Structure 1
Amino acid sequence: MHPQLSICALLFSNTLAQAISDALSHPPQAEFPKVQYQITILRSNEEFCRFLEQEKQHLDCLILQGDNNLPYLVNWLHRQATLLPVVIILPEDSINQSVIPADGASPATSLDQAPGETEESLFTYHIAEVSMPVTESNNISHYIDQAIARFINLSPACRVTRATSTAEVNPESDQTSLQQQQRRLSEKLKERLGYLGVYFKRNPQNFLRHLPAAEKQELLEKLREDYRSIVLCYFLEDGTLNQRIDDFVNAAFFADIPTAQIVEIHMDLMDEFSKQLKLEGRSEEILLDYRLTLIDVIAHLCEMYRRSIPGNLKDENL
């Protein structure tokens, strides 16, 4: 069985709906040629909302027809704290620079940075949306690939959406939804498309060494806090330990964190604990046991790289 991606489309044009359905049945040259698309095409707002309420946890991407109906849908999605990769199909006369060309070139707007006042007009649903001209319907599989890649590669520090007077968006709710969906889609892609696909989906703009100083500091602080939580529950009967390690490794992988940086985080934390133990008049020997934590985390990260990096790149690095 070929892997499947579940797509939900809200399309009011019969001609467009047929074109999208045909294109996904026989994608010309998808980024992952063996992927099959399971698409549900809906024709009304009511059907769309009911379907998403029931199936949003199983969906991989949305396709929305860009018209006067779109603001209503965006407000509803935000109120439901529903963030998903999306392709917005625009009529020819409304195409702007947010459209990703069929050759895969990146748009002018950086996905790492929160949009400013002049940038907010470049997105409607969230900052990782992909716009597509209606004339590119036969290349829809390409735009779906791009939408999923942009969504997964969003920096944890960026502002994803903007609140509107009618949507009453809770930024924290949106951020939580983003993190949950990113984790779910990353796991699904690893299972369905293989680690090779995940490796090539990494966005160099989100690598630690390429982030602005403020975002770099914020990411490192988050990694330190996540690592601290792993250490504190490592020797406890905590059912969340494996998930904590996976989340930490996933963040380190997509940010291309050097192992030396992880060792530094570990040593800084051990130094902090050592000072605390001295103040309490307790032995520091217990800290030696936490070398197992560091080994475990680095082993997970190395395994992720081993399974993801193509064989030809491995050979070059030997």
Structure 2
Amino acid sequence: MHPQLSIGIFVRSPALAQSLSQVLSGDRYVLLIANSEAEFLEFVEQKQQHIDCLVLQEDESLPPVINQLYEQGTLLPLVILPKESKENNMIVVTNGQPTPIQTTVHFTPGEVHYMFHAAEVRLDTIQLSEIEHLIEQAITQFLSLSPNCNLPDLLANADQKAEENHRGSLMKQQYRLSEKLKERLGYLGVYYKRNPQFFFRYLPQNERTKLIEQLKRDYRQIVLMYFSQDTTINQLIDNFVNEAFFADISVSRIVEIHMDLMDDFSQQLKLEGRSEDILTDYRLTLIDVIAHLGEMYRRSIPREL
């Protein structure tokens, strides 16, 4: 049985809203459709812990709406449909099914020209026959976001407190959504539908370098917090493992990152005249991370195989 995914929808076109309702009808989705900006913001604030993906339409009101979501501490997977035009505002319904129009999905790892976050899925034209796949893609990419990802252009001037809230909201939603998918899908569904386009080995060299540097920073943070009483450590590990999993990073690469970091710490301890024995304790950190990553790879294999 597929889980029910809760989808928050706010589009200006009544015809488009009706077509989305028809395409996403059935037992798999719970739809929360708003008719006004105020209604949309209210139900997202009230139900953000239950919403799994947002579907919005691009128009002049979208930046203020996204800014309001950010200010109320909301970060969720997002599909952005294009604004209405003569080419794409005619949604034809035949026998209860809309006739699709060609679409193009734009997402580039590390790209900074986005409105909500770097994992949003944006369309040039509407193709409602693909909306289920696009929702899964938005969720998958959202789960792979690093908590240290860049802020949207719209929020580049946010103060430090707002930025910290942004990171916390991202980690909280990722943890909630990943736990839901693990519990109800057993890592199947969107979990094994990784896009090879974003695999490490297929990335351009500059993107590979950026990804490895990001993983190193994330892993260093995990190591520094591992033996503390901070309860966010589990979320940090989950986020790190998600990023490695969706980029198809090998276990040997994780070991390499660990050893490089231990070498850096060793040199620092020598300069300070301190013993390196403490570094052996961080083998537990490596074992913990590898165990999580190995389990994701194991469960990502479809049962029928």
Give the TM-score range, shorter chain. Answer: 0.7 to 0.9
Using the aligned pairs only, state the percent identity.
53
**Is contact 1:112-1:155 (8 Å) kept?**
no
**CA distance in structure 2 between the aligned counterparts of 1:271 and 1:138, rounded to whole angstroms:** 52
Q: TM-score, normalised by structure 2?
A: 0.74
**CA distance in structure 2 between the aligned counterparts of 1:279 and 1:197, rounded to whole angstroms:** 50
Task: Give the deviation of 1:132 after TM superposition.
Answer: 7.6
**CA distance in structure 2 between the aligned counterparts of 1:312 and 1:295, rounded to whole angstroms:** 29
Provide the secondary structure at the position in 2 that maps to 1:9: strand
Task: Give the deviation of 1:53 after TM superposition.
Answer: 2.1
Provide the secondary structure at the position in 1 that maps to 2:244: helix
Query: Residues 109-161 of structure 1: CA distance to partner in whole angstroms, max 9, x if unpaired?
Result: 4422425xxxx6xx765562333856x55654344334333444557787563
Among candidates 201, 207, 210, match of residue 202 of structure 2? 210
The one-letter code matched in structure 1 to 2:79 is V
**CA distance in structure 1 between the aligned counterparts of 2:43 and 2:104, rounded to whole angstroms:** 32
2:109 is aligned with 1:112: yes
**CA distance in structure 1 between the aligned counterparts of 2:151 and 2:269, rounded to whole angstroms:** 41
Which residue does 2:5 correspond to in 1? Answer: 5
Among candidates 70, 86, 90, match of residue 93 of structure 1? 86
2:266 is aligned with 1:271: no
Task: Give the deviation of 1:104 after TM superposition.
Answer: 10
Which residue does 2:254 correspond to in 1? Answer: 262
Which residue does 2:287 correspond to in 1? Answer: 295
Provide the secondary structure at the position in 1 that maps to 2:179: helix
The one-letter code matched in structure 1 to 2:217 is E
With 9-18 and 172-181 compared, the bigger mean Cα shift is at 172-181
272 and 253 in structure 1: CA distance in 2 versus 1, 3 angstrom threshold: same
Among candidates 162, 166, 169, match of residue 153 of structure 2? 162
**CA distance in structure 1 between the aligned counterparts of 2:225 and 2:165, rounded to whole angstroms:** 28
Which residue does 2:231 correspond to in 1? Answer: 239
Matches within 5 A, 1:176-187: 176=167, 177-178=169-170, 180-187=172-179
Q: Which runs of 5+ in 2 are unaligned?
A: 90-98
Which residue does 1:40 correspond to in 2? Answer: 32
Task: Give the deviation of 1:299 after TM superposition.
Answer: 1.9
Q: Which runs of 5+ in 1 are unaligned?
A: 27-34, 314-318
**CA distance in structure 1 between the aligned counterparts of 2:60 and 2:260, rounded to whole angstroms:** 54
The one-letter code matched in structure 2 to 1:86 is V
Let me know the Cα RMSD of the aligned residues: 3.9
2:241 is aligned with 1:249: yes
Q: TM-score, normalised by structure 1?
A: 0.71
Provide the secondary structure at the position in 2 that maps to 1:52: helix
Which residue does 1:190 correspond to in 2? Answer: 182
156 and 94 in structure 1: CA distance in 2 versus 1, 3 angstrom threshold: farther
Which residue does 1:31 correspond to in 2? Answer: none
The one-letter code matched in structure 2 to 1:24 is L
Provide the secondary structure at the position in 2 that maps to 1:53: helix
